[in-house]
Amino acid sequence: AQSVAQPEDQVNVAEGNPLTVKCTYSVSGNPYLFWYVQYPNRGLQFLLKYITGDNLVKGSYGFEAEFNKSQTSFHLKKPSALVSDSALYFCAVRDGGNDMRFGAGTRLTVKP
Amino acid sequence: DAGVIQSPRHEVTEMGQEVTLRCKPISGHDYLFWYRQTMMRGLELLIYFNNNVPIDDSGMPEDRFSAKMPNASFSTLKIQPSEPRDSAVYFCASSLALYGTEAFFGQGTRLTVV
């Protein structure tokens, strides 16, 4: 069965600095990987996904993610963090067209 | 499209009562997922449907939980009887059947069982 792991419960960065939120995955076939963001009292919002092709995927709000097959990782990045980026971030993996499994989430705090 | 619509947004009920959560997926989506989010357990997949048919309900915690999808536009998650440990935020999500397609989430139902 497919799964993802987010090794950090919390990530703190200063505004204007680059940010990275880590994710590693485990799948038996081709990985379909996703990042979502959750703001307080809201549902999850889709940020970006990797299906195939370029290892660097660009998404919403200036976020991007780098797929690394050899390290089985799919880290979320942003060159310059904003205070408004503070939220809960989830990595997810989908087995083909079937179920979607999420990591435990990483709380990102961007300090002014 | 209005997105995935869940109702109610908040539900407070007494232990032992029946609770029904409702979800309207995005029109044309083939898959519907029910998730539960708690601080302790994170985001858990409870059950998902494909074309109104339950595919995997292994995440349903107990027999007290049941889910149905009578048609492509509506699904329910029922808890009977409810217990305080069922308190959580329940999310419904839907997606197309295409490989690698993202799921779209509703706003969630915050359930409190007292």
Q: Please tell me which residue of chain A has the smallest CA distance to B56.
A: A99
Q: Which residues of A touch B98 (CB under 8 A)?
A: 97
Q: In order along chain B (114 residues), what is the average pLDDT of each group of 10 residues?
A: 92 97 96 94 93 93 95 97 97 87 94 98
Residue numbers in B near A45 (CB within 8 A):
105
Q: Which fold has domain A3-111?
A: Immunoglobulin-like (2.60.40)
For residue B33, the chain A residues in CB contact (below 8 A) are 99-100
User: Quick one: pLDDT at residue A21?
Assistant: 98
Please give the backbone phi and psi of residue A106, each rounded to the nearest 5 degrees, phi first.
-130, 125
- Tens of pLDDT, residue by residue over A77-100, are 999 999 999 999 999 998 765 788
pLDDT in the model for residue A89: 98
* Contact between residue A45 and residue B105 where contact means Cβ atoms under 8 Å apart: yes
B20 alpha carbon, distance to own chain's centre: 10
Query: Cα–Cα distance between B2 and A106 in angstroms, integer?
Result: 28
Alpha carbons A97 and A99: distance in angstroms, whole number: 7
Q: How is residue B91 written in tokens?
A: 């999310």
Chain A within 8 Å of B99 (Cβ-Cβ)?
yes
The pLDDT, as a whole number, for residue A96 is 62
Tell me which residue of B104, B107, B112 sits closest to B31, measured CA to CA.
Answer: B104
Asked if residues B67 and B75 have their Cβ atoms less than 8 Å apart, the reply is yes
Q: How many residues does chain A have?
A: 112
Q: Is B49 helix (H, G, I), strand (E, B) or coil?
A: strand
pLDDT in 10s for each residue of chain A, 112 residues: 788 999 999 999 999 999 999 999 998 888 899 999 999 888 899 999 998 888 999 999 999 999 999 999 999 999 999 999 999 999 999 876 578 889 999 999 999 9
**Does residue A7 have a cis peptide bond before it, meaning omega lies within 30 degrees of 0?**
no
CA B92/CA B75 separation, integer angstroms:
9
Q: Which residues contact A60 (CB under 8 A, 6 or more apart)?
A: A45, A46, A47, A48
Task: Decide: residue A29, CB within 10 A, 0-12 exposed, 13-18 middle, 19+ buried.
Answer: exposed
Q: Which residue of A has its CA nearest to B101?
A: A97
Whether the CB of B97 is below 8 Å from some CB of chain A: the reply is yes
Residue B7 in contact with partner chain A when CB distance is under 8 A: no
